[in-house]
């Protein structure tokens, strides 16, 4: 599968320059999009107060940023079909006919010694080995003034020469605006709209068109200025590359195929292979034209070899640089439908999504499906204005969660029986979630499951649970502003918001009965409460911000439950609701799901 990495930098506070207001937030939102929606596995994040990584500072000063470029890009680590994106929001300057990015300690009186040349950045990025390198610069601010020429001219020319896709927030003579009403930059607002569900701009070409229209619209609404973003993508087939595969249309893929065929005709086999690999990625590995083309290219390469040193003919399994890795990578894809509702509970949108998973064979035909949850950052807790919120859901705070695997469903009675040899549940049914399990019972299940398999299992941390439940949403529920009993098993006589009353089933239901969230997880709202690893604390002050469990508190015998249940009101099923419970209690509305710590 394609490797997707990125660097995101946002700088508000400068040592020698006037501060910016929303550059840090722009970078944070970009990081969240890349991790949560675009499927990026690793994102290096630098901002005013970003936490250290592996003991190394992520303060965006010149020394730290240069160190990353020198160490990370020392030799190629990516291949054809891979992607590396670089996003910078901060000050930029043009000096002596060269474009520079200003780190937080950049000094306009000593630019050559304290700033970072953009051509150095582009050159190092190209060393990663990926054929798709995207440079996104919201740095055309002329150091907070509108005089003189900003960055762009030199960078654009070098982007053309190096084949780097470069996206600029404005023309060199213009100013890149921050919008107070939006708490964002105008460019980043439009960029995230265009890449996301609103614009669904899967290709560079479509994104360019969206930005050219949307950024001036935002600026004219909030400012009396002009801002014209532009994109450099050369050669022309770079414009057809698919940035966000989930929004790619058949027409997008067809255009990419034409480019790939043309590269073959011109005997540019390296380019043809790159393009066919991208076709295959956009089609989730199921495009036979691409598969046959990659085989064809490998045969052509083999036929060009010298006859004096015969080599075995290549096979598709080992010829496509990581696309066909079923034997090495047990992950499979599954598809599902996600729905969104309005404040009255009416479904307003249906869309198809796809996620990756692996299946653990527990024996006797019983399997455990574990879904890959992409890493990323999110705001944990609820907003003060959210209806029926509790005080322990605050303060709102940012948490960064590494990638992990989580059970597609709460642990079922069949799974519990197979591992533990018993079924304590009140509401019997193999596909129903196990209940009447204590926190220690759940921990023991994880221990025995780990011993039986080659993976390490545990309960999720509270942060992992909320991150996985939200699945990049910010509404009270992952369905939207409310829920109904057509979507969740809860006490329908007590609805939330403007939703109507519904059914009160008074018991659990089979897992998977209702629509999942966009990560592919089922029943994160309702059915049974789910144990988390953490000790209960009555607020988030001093809570971990790295996704790890909070293991200290007033009473280690009081643990956390999340998600609501069949017997609770709709409001208690919100993504942010947290309930304390004695670890020894066994209730018939409490179950759990597991997390895989590491997958071979």
Find the range with the poorest average confidence among 18-22, 102-106, 200-204, 454-458: 454-458
Task: Name the residue among 178, 181, 232, 223 with its Cα closest to residue 205.
Answer: 232
User: And the tokens for 9?
Assistant: 């930098």
Q: In the predicted model, is pLDDT for residue 147 greater than 80?
A: no
Question: How does the average pLDDT of the chain come out, rounded?
Answer: 88
Under a CB-based contact definition with an 8 Å cutoff, are residues 199 and 210 in contact?
yes
Question: pLDDT tens-digit profile of 494-533?
Answer: 999 999 999 999 999 999 999 999 999 999 999 999 999 9
pLDDT at 600: 35
Architecture of the domain delimited by 4-247: 3-Layer(aba) Sandwich (3.40)
DSSP state, residue 434: P
pLDDT at 3: 86
Find the range with the poorest average confidence among 201-215, 303-317, 378-392: 303-317
pLDDT higher at 249 or 220: 220
Task: Name the residue among 158, 144, 149, 173 with its Cα closest to residue 96.
Answer: 149
Residue with tokens 């007590």: 494
Hey, which residues does 99 pair with through a beta bridge? 94
Which residues touch 124 (CB under 8 Å, ≥6 apart)? 69, 70, 73
Domain boundaries, the chain: 4-247, 250-318, 356-598
Helices (H) and strands (E) in the chain, counts: 13, 23
Tally Cβ neighbours within 10 Å of residue 194.
22
Question: Which CATH code is given to the segment(s) 356-598?
Answer: 3.90.1580.10
Of all residues in the chain, the percent with pLDDT exceeding 90 is: 64
CA trace torsion 539, 540, 544, 545 (10° rounding): 160
- The alpha-carbon radius of gyration of the chain (Å, integer) is 26
Q: In the predicted model, is pLDDT for residue 148 greater than 50?
A: no
Q: In the predicted model, is pLDDT for residue 437 greater than 80?
A: yes
Tally Cβ neighbours within 10 Å of residue 220.
13
pLDDT at 132: 85
pLDDT higher at 383 or 172: 383
pLDDT at 237: 66
Distance CA 542, CA 550 (A): 9
Question: pLDDT tens-digit profile of 565-599?
Answer: 999 999 999 999 999 999 999 999 999 999 986 44
Whether the pTM exceeds 0.85: the reply is: no
pLDDT at 150: 60
Question: pLDDT tens-digit profile of 282-334?
Answer: 776 667 888 888 888 877 776 665 333 344 433 333 333 333 222 233 689 99
pLDDT at 325: 27
pLDDT at 241: 83
């Amino acid at each position: 599968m394609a490797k997707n990495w990125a660097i995101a930098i946002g700088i508000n506070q400068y040592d020698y320059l006037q501060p910016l207001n929303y550059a840090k937030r722009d970078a944070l939102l970009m990081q969240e999009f890349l991790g949560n929606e675009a499927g990026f596995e690793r994102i290096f994040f630098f901002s005013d107060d970003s936490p250290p990584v592996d003991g190394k500072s992520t303060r965006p000063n010149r020394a730290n940023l240069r160190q990353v470029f020198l160490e990370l890009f020392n030799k190629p680590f990516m291949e054809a079909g891979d992607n590396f994106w670089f996003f910078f929001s901060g000050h930029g300057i043009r000096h002596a006919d060269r474009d520079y990015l200003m780190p937080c300690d950049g000094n306009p009186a000593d630019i050559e010694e304290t700033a970072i040349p953009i051509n150095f950045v582009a050159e190092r990025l190209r060393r990663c080995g990926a054929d798709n390198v995207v440079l996104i610069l919201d740095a055309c601010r002329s150091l907070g003034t509108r005089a003189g020429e900003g960055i762009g001219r030199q960078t654009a020319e070098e982007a053309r020469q190096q084949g780097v896709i470069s996206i600029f927030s404005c023309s060199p003579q213009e100013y890149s605006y921050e919008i107070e009403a939006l708490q964002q930059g105008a460019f980043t607002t439009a960029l995230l709209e265009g890449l996301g569900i609103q614009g669904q701009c899967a290709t560079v070409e479509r994104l360019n068109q969206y930005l050219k229209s949307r950024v001036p619209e935002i600026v004219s609404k909030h400012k009396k200025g002009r801002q014209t973003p532009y994109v450099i993508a050369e050669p022309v087939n770079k414009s057809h590359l698919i940035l966000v595969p989930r929004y790619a249309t058949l027409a997008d893929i067809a255009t990419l195929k034409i480019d790939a065929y043309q590269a073959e005709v011109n005997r540019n086999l390296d380019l043809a292979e790159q393009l066919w690999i991208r076709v295959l990625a956009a089609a989730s590995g199921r495009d036979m034209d691409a598969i046959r083309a990659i085989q064809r290219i490998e045969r052509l390469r083999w036929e060009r070899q010298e006859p004096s040193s015969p080599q075995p003919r290549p096979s598709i399994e080992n010829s496509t640089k990581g696309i066909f890795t079923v034997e090495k990578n047990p992950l499979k894809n599954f598809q599902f439908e996600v729905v969104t509702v309005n404040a009255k509970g009416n479904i307003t949108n249906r869309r198809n999504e796809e996620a990756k998973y692996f299946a653990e064979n527990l024996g006797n035909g019983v399997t455990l499906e574990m879904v890959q949850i992409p890493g990323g950052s999110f705001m944990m807790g609820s907003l003060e204005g959210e209806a029926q919120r509790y005080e322990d859901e605050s303060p709102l705070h940012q948490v960064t969660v590494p990638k992990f695997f989580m059970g597609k469903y709460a642990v079922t009675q069949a799974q519990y029986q197979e591992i533990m040899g018993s079924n304590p549940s009140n509401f019997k049914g193999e596909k129903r979630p196990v209940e009447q399990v204590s926190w220690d019972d759940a921990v023991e299940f994880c221990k025995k499951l780990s011993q039986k398999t080659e993976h390490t299992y545990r309960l999720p941390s509270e942060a992992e649970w909320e991150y996985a439940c939200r699945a990049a949403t910010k509404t009270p529920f992952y369905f939207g502003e409310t829920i109904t009993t057509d979507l969740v098993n809860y006490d329908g006589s007590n609805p939330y918001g403007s939703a109507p009353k519904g059914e009160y089933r008074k018991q659990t239901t089979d897992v998977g009965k209702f629509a999942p969230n966009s990560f592919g997880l089922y029943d994160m709202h309702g059915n049974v409460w789910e144990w988390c690893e953490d000790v209960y604390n009555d607020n988030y002050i001093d809570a971990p911000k790295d996704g790890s469990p909070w293991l200290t508190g007033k009473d280690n015998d009081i643990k956390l439950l999340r998600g609501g249940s069949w017997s609770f009101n709709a409001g208690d099923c919100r993504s942010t609701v947290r309930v304390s419970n004695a670890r020894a209690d066994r209730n018939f509305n409490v179950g759990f799901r597991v997390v895989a710590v590491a997958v071979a």
